Structure formats: structure tokens, C-alpha cells
Structure 1
Amino acid sequence: MNLYLRYFDKETLVDNVEKALDFLQSIPEIGLNADLERDIRDYVSSDVFYPKRYKVRPRIYFIIIKTMAATMFDFKQKKAVQQMPVPNAFDRRGLIATALTRLTEERPGWYEGEMKFKRVVLVPATGKYEYRDTLFVVHCKAMSGQDCYERILDNLRDRVDSRSQFPSAKGKNFRYRYLGMWK
């Protein structure tokens, strides 16, 4: 494992923490102290692969990135990028199913749609309006999850204050479940 360090236009690729600390010590603005040295050693010895940035002054940082690249050229060409694990969610065709493809997949039948939205309501005590989280659950006939979402919106827009805020179909505040084919 190698370490890539950068501070503005000064950069290096080293193979151990001692060389990284020598590089940082050669830059007077950084002000390497015992606490910073200990933190860098902890980061290098940890299993964390995310880049780490350290504050030098307000809005001024230097970064350290763990990499498998052997040379600076390989690092710049991203030839030693960490591979992300493949998700286990597969649809019936063996392809990775994304939220958008599942949402728009045509599957006519009954759906249970659940939407949590911000509803504008009048507070009688004060005479003012406020937003309240409201959960709306419905069973409807639809062609897809997207169609279910649109049918819920069409229904709610006629029945609630126009200032109410509705979530995106792709967000966490809308869920749907296929219940089965209609008869």
C-alpha cells in the first residue's frame, strides 16, 4: 500500500508513513506536531480507504490517499483504484436493479403506495399555517411504481393546500409494493 500526499501543487507518492512524514515536515506551513503525526500514523494503520484531509488553516487542507498504485503515473491514470463490492440486489433478468429501473418497470396490477409529505395545515389557535409530516397510504391499480406515484399525486393535489410539498418518486419518502395482478 502506498500513500499519495498533496498540498496545493506539492505532491508525492511514498511507500511508508516515515517518508510521508518527511514530506510533510519539508513544508513549513503545515506545522507538523506530535498530535498530527499520531493521527496520520493511526490513519495509515487503519482499514479505512477513504481519502483523509487535514486542516492547515481555515479553508486550507492537505490530503492523504491510500492507493495500490506503484508509480505516480499509475495513480494519475487511476490504474489502481479500489474495487467497490458488487451489490447483491439482482432483478429477474440477472441485471443489477436500480431504483429507477424498478420504478419504471411495467407490471400492471394492484400497488400499495405510501407517501410521506409536508402538508400545509391551519393552526386554529394562532390562525397561522404550518407544515406537518403526513403519511398517505393507498391501494390503487397502476401500470408501474411510477404510475402509482403519479396517481397518488393527482389525488392529493385536488385535496390538500397547493403549498404542500411532495417528495420525489425516487426518494426515501415514497415507497410502493406490488400486490398482484388485477382481475
Structure 2
Amino acid sequence: MNLYLRYFDKETLVFNVDDAISFLSSIPEIDMDEHLEADIRDYAASNVYYPKRYKIRPRVYFIIIKTEAASMLDFKQKKAVRPTIAGESREAAASALSRLVDDRPGWYEGALDFKRVVMIPATGKFEYRDTRFVAQCKANSPQDCYDRIVEHLRGRVDSRSQFPSVKGKNFRYKYLGYWK
């Protein structure tokens, strides 16, 4: 595992912790003590892949990033990205999106959180209010359920109301069963 270190315009890619510590020691603004050195060694030995930043003074940090890159050019071109995590999240997102359009006729319960425009009677002005709408409807797919709910609401609320995407977290559905 290699380490990328950066402090303002000073950056390097090192292949072991000792080189990282010597690079940081060469920067006068960084006070390298035994606690900082031990923390850097612990971070390098851990299974954590998130970047780590260390505070030098208020609003001034240096960062360390674990990478598989063999050279600075590979790191800059993001050739050493960990594919397992990125691939798994893409597959999960793709399967969630494909479930939205799967043809499965039946009863659905859809819940939609949207921004509804309402008038305040005291002032005569309008404002957005977070509103939840839950409905049970016959539909052929979750996408169809969403479309039916939005179509129903468009005729009953102010046209300036804002509806979320079917792909977002503000639309939830549950399949209740096949209709007869």
C-alpha cells in the first residue's frame, strides 16, 4: 500500500511509512513529534481507506491518502481506484433502478415527500411546505405507481409544487399483492 501526502503545493507518493515521515519532517511548518508519528504509522497499518487529514494550525491541514498507484501519474489519473467498492455500489444502484421498471402488476402503496406550495392566509404570500402523501393504487410497476400518484397530485395542488425523482429517497413503495 502506497501513501500520497500533500501539504499545500508540496506533494509526494511514497512506498512506505518511513519515507512519509521523512517527507513530513522536511517541512518546517509541521511539528513532527512521537504522537504524530505513531498516529501516521497506525493509520498506514489499519484497514481504513478513507483519506486522513492532520491539523497543523487553524484551517491548515496536511492529508494522507492510501493508494494502490505505482506512480504519481497513475494516482493523478485515478488508475488505482479500488474497483470492488465502486463496482458493488454501481451494481446495487443498477438493480434498484431496474426494480422500478419491472413489470409486476398489483396493488402498491406509494409514499411521496414533496414540496407543496401553500398560501399563508395572514399575509397572502406563498411558501413551500414539506408534505407527505401516501396512497394505495393499482399499478403495473413501481414507476407506474409513482406516475399515478404524481398525476393525481398535479391536478390537486398548486402548479409550482415540486415533486421528487422516482429514483430518489423521497419516494418509497411497497408491493401489497396481485389484484383480482
* TM-score bin (small chain): 0.7 to 0.9
Give the Cα–Cα distance (whole angstroms) in 2 for the partners of residues 53 and 81 of structure 1.
20
Give the Cα–Cα distance (whole angstroms) in 2 for the partners of residues 42 and 33 of structure 1.
18
What's the offset of the Cα at 1:45? Answer: 5.1
Partner of 1:32: 30
What's the offset of the Cα at 1:153? Answer: 0.8
User: Which residue of the other structure, out of 110, 128, 132, is the alignment partner of 1:131?
Assistant: 128
TM-score, scaled to structure 1? 0.74
Structure 1 residues 21 and 104: CA distance shift in structure 2, 3 A: same
- Sequence identity (%): 59
What's the offset of the Cα at 1:46? Answer: 4.6
Provide, for residues 75-130 of structure 1, a one-character-per-residue CA deviation record: whole Å limited to 9, x for no partner: 6484583743986xx9xxxx986221111111111111111111111222232222
Structure 2 counterpart of 1:25, one-letter code = S
Would you say how many aligned residue pairs link Structure 1 and Structure 2?
A: 173
Q: Is the CA contact (8 Å cut-off) linking 1:109 and 1:182 kept in structure 2? A: yes
TM-score, scaled to structure 2? 0.75
Partner of 2:12: 11
Structure 1 residues 113 and 53: CA distance shift in structure 2, 3 A: same
Q: Is the CA contact (8 Å cut-off) linking 1:67 and 1:75 kept in structure 2? A: no
Structure 1 counterpart of 2:14, one-letter code = L
Structure 2 counterpart of 1:33, one-letter code = D
Structure 1 counterpart of 2:85, one-letter code = M
Corresponding residue SS for 1:98:
helix
What's the offset of the Cα at 1:51? Answer: 1.7
Structure 2 gaps, min length 5 = none
Q: Is the CA contact (8 Å cut-off) linking 2:109 and 2:134 kept in structure 1? A: yes
Corresponding residue SS for 1:22:
helix
What's the offset of the Cα at 1:33? Answer: 1.7
Corresponding residue SS for 1:110:
strand
What's the offset of the Cα at 1:10? Answer: 3.6
What's the offset of the Cα at 1:40? Answer: 3.8
Q: How well do the aligned residues superpose, as a CA RMSD in angstroms?
A: 3.5
